[in-house]
Structure 1
Amino acid sequence: MSTQDARSVRSRQALLDAGIELLLRNPAATLSEIAAHANVGRATLYRQFESKEQLIQELAIESLEMTSAVIAPVKNRKLSAKATLEEIFKAVMPLADKYHFLLSIWNIAEKDDEVIAIYNQQLTELASLIERGKKEGTINKNLDTSWIVCVIDSLIYSGWWMMGNTGMSAANASAHSIETLFAGISK
């Protein structure tokens, strides 16, 4: 890798890191503020990201990929569907410390085809897990799978919101989400 390429990679990562840090505190932070926080010039910023929307979409992709990465080991453990869901909540909630700002600006991220493709893949995998739980008898067969997927997605959203806005711990957000989910969909 050339010196120029290495510098470009470092600048891009500095902008992504600064974007996360500033957008966590203020979702309305400007690209100029993010560039200044990253100690990167405006010209370098615009070579990396043409707009704030593009930066947000990149951060959304990073968030979704991180979510997939923390869930992968859970899926590989051959647990029951119920235990897998419980472990997924425990794995995903700590990501709020880094990505909960996306909740307030998702309308920008969802305009990106790659973001939506990754997100839809995650929802499809979750639906398969729900179907497995129905076959195992731990999830109510009378409830629509899409409904349960939406409930789980909402519980993750709620947990992240509580962590970001009230200081709830990841452990408490996970526990509350698990209790709420299984009190509502268990037989």
Structure 2
Amino acid sequence: MSPTGHLRADAERNMRAIIDAAIVLLAAEPEASMERVATAAGVGRATVYRHFASREHLVRAILDQALQDARDAVIGSRPDDGTPVEALKRAVQAILKVADRYRLVRQIPRDDVELRQRAEEVGAPLTAIVGRGQRSGDFRSDLQPRWCASALGALIQAVTVALIDGEVRERDACRLVVSTFVDGIAAPAPTG
């Protein structure tokens, strides 16, 4: 490997270590300093600032990683397999695993067009599951699929906060989200 390649690999490892340490540290101590992040990552403060000019840049990198991981998790949950409800359960379980790692992430800044686009990529498979459920008659068809996926995202965020606060047990989280969501968009039982 060339010296440049070695330096690039070291820089990449440092950046990964900084992000990983910041994810854990900032979830526990949201106001932790960049110096504390450096210590947790096992690098110098100057190294942190070389990769991230400010705390805002570091938090944005974490948001970016969270969205990538969430997108990968949803796609990996096989959203096209099984019934819409089964697909929804798998997608929610996958997202909850990611959400647990990224407790720091609460909201994407409105003016960050790139991160908002990434969030759309996470939501697209969920919107597709809802649309499939509407076409199959499992879910109400009078609600926009995208609105339903946004509501699902809000439920996931709410249960993540409840998990952090100890109000919900991990084993109950997916069931709470899916049952609340599905009961809210279930197609009405036929009358007569």
Q: TM (normalized to structure 2)?
A: 0.86
**How far did 1:125 drift?**
3.2
Match of 2:102 among 70, 74, 99: 99
Distance in 2, Cα, partners of 1:166 & 1:87: 23
- Contact map agreement 1:93 1:170 (CA 8 A) in 2: no
2:151 is the alignment partner of 1:148: no
Distance in 1, Cα, partners of 2:22 & 2:167: 21
Distance 1:92 1:171, change over 3 A: farther
Structure with higher RCO (Cα < 8 A, 6+ apart): 1
**How far did 1:107 drift?**
4.8
Number of equivalences: 184
Distance in 2, Cα, partners of 1:79 & 1:62: 29
Alignment-derived partner of residue 89 in structure 1: 92
- Contact map agreement 1:96 1:164 (CA 8 A) in 2: no
Q: Which has the larger radius of gyration?
A: 2
Distance 1:11 1:167, change over 3 A: farther
Distance in 2, Cα, partners of 1:112 & 1:41: 29
**How far did 1:3 drift?**
2.9
Alignment-derived partner of residue 56 in structure 1: 59
Alignment-derived partner of residue 7 in structure 2: 4
| Structural mapping, 1:106-185, within 5 Å | 106-108=107-109, 111-166=111-166, 168-185=168-185
Q: TM (normalized to structure 1)?
A: 0.88
Q: Name whichever of 165-174 and 78-87 sits farther off.
A: 165-174
2:69 is the alignment partner of 1:66: yes
Question: C-alpha offsets along residues 27-70 of structure 1, whole Å, 9 cap, x if unaligned?
Answer: 11121221122121122111111111111111111111111222
Alignment-derived partner of residue 81 in structure 2: 78
Partner of 2:156: helix, strand, or coil?
helix
Partner of 1:130: helix, strand, or coil?
helix
Distance 1:56 1:37, change over 3 A: same
Match of 1:28 among 24, 27, 31: 31
**How far did 1:77 drift?**
5.4
Specify every segment of 5 or more residues in structure 1 that has no aligned partner in the other structure, as ranges: none
Specify every segment of 5 or more residues in structure 2 that has no aligned partner in the other structure, as ranges: 188-192
Alignment-derived partner of residue 43 in structure 1: 46
Letter in 1 for 2:131: E
Distance 1:111 1:51, change over 3 A: farther
Distance 1:97 1:18, change over 3 A: same
Distance in 1, Cα, partners of 2:135 & 2:24: 43
Distance in 2, Cα, partners of 1:167 & 1:3: 47
RMSD over equivalenced CA pairs, Å? 1.9
Distance in 2, Cα, partners of 1:169 & 1:69: 25
Distance in 1, Cα, partners of 2:39 & 2:128: 44
**How far did 1:176 drift?**
0.5
Letter in 1 for 2:18: L
